[in-house]
């Protein structure tokens, strides 16, 4: 009897701790698994689907936007939600396009990623939930953040030249 009572209490306590820690780090708990059959992902290449739906990472120093220094906006490759501006892009030396801030505080959702024995924060498009990369706390001022993003998850539209 005690055991039967203890179990739900224990689970409730664990859930409480989990939701509390999510709230403290501003992580989304409404994360939805990505289905590559979803129409939003249908026009992506097979490799882009592996990255955006399966969470794969492109090899460092291979992405097409790594050295892009043009002015413009980086959109989600799947749903074209605006994610970053070129003004926050910096050379992190990591081999992936890096940004110190998102374009808008609601553009990107974050969640804990404990895969590969590492504790990381995954970043996904807030709109379609497509995988973008990870965010680390070793970026430059003013945010101190480094959004490490796969080029495969991005679509860059240059600012129109006058």
Question: Are 89 and 97 contacting, i.e. CB atoms less than 8 angstroms apart?
Answer: yes
How buried is residue 15: exposed, middle or buried, by Cβ count under 10 Å (0-12/13-18/19+)?
Answer: exposed
Listed in sequence order, the residues at least 6 apart from 116 whose beta carbon sits closer than 8 Å to its beta carbon are none
> Binders of Zn ion among 36-95, rule CB under 5 A?
76, 78-79, 81
Q: Per-residue x/- marks for Zn ion, 4-43, CB under 5 A?
A: ----------------------------------------
Of the candidates 66, 73, 103, 125, which one interacts with Zn ion according to CB under 5 A?
125
**Least distance in Å: CB of 76 to Zn ion?**
3
**Least distance in Å: CB of 36 to Zn ion?**
13
Window contacting Zn ion (CB under 5 A); options: 12-20, 45-53, 54-62, 122-130: 122-130
**Least distance in Å: CB of 115 to Zn ion?**
21
Question: Are 128 and 48 contacting, i.e. CB atoms less than 8 angstroms apart?
Answer: no
Question: Are 63 and 150 contacting, i.e. CB atoms less than 8 angstroms apart?
Answer: yes
**Least distance in Å: CB of 80 to Zn ion?**
7
Question: Are 119 and 111 contacting, i.e. CB atoms less than 8 angstroms apart?
Answer: no
Is 76 labeled as catalytic in the residue annotation? no
The H-assigned helical ranges of 46-119 are 46-54
Of the candidates 128, 135, 148, 152, which one interacts with Zn ion according to CB under 5 A?
128
What is the radius of gyration, based on Cα positions, of the chain?
A: 18
Tell me which residues touch Zn ion (CB under 5 A): 76, 78-79, 81, 125, 127-128, 130
Residues acting as catalytic residues:
148
């Amino acid at each position: 009897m005690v055991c039967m009572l203890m179990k739900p209490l224990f689970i409730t306590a664990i859930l409480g701790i989990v939701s509390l820690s999510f709230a403290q780090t501003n992580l989304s708990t409404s994360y939805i698994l990505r289905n590559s059959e979803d129409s939003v992902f249908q026009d992506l290449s097979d490799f882009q689907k592996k990255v955006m739906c399966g969470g794969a990472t492109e090899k460092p120093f291979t992405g097409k936007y790594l050295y892009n220094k043009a002015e413009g906006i980086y959109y989600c490759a799947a749903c074209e939600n605006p994610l970053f501006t070129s003004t926050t892009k910096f050379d992190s030396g990591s081999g992936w396009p890096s940004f110190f801030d998102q374009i808008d505080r609601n553009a990107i959702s974050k969640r804990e990623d404990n895969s590969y024995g590492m504790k990381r924060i995954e970043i996904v498009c807030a709109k379609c939930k497509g995988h973008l990369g990870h965010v680390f706390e070793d970026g430059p001022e003013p945010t101190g953040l480094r959004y490490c993003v796969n080029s495969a998850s991005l679509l860059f539209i240059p600012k129109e030249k006058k």
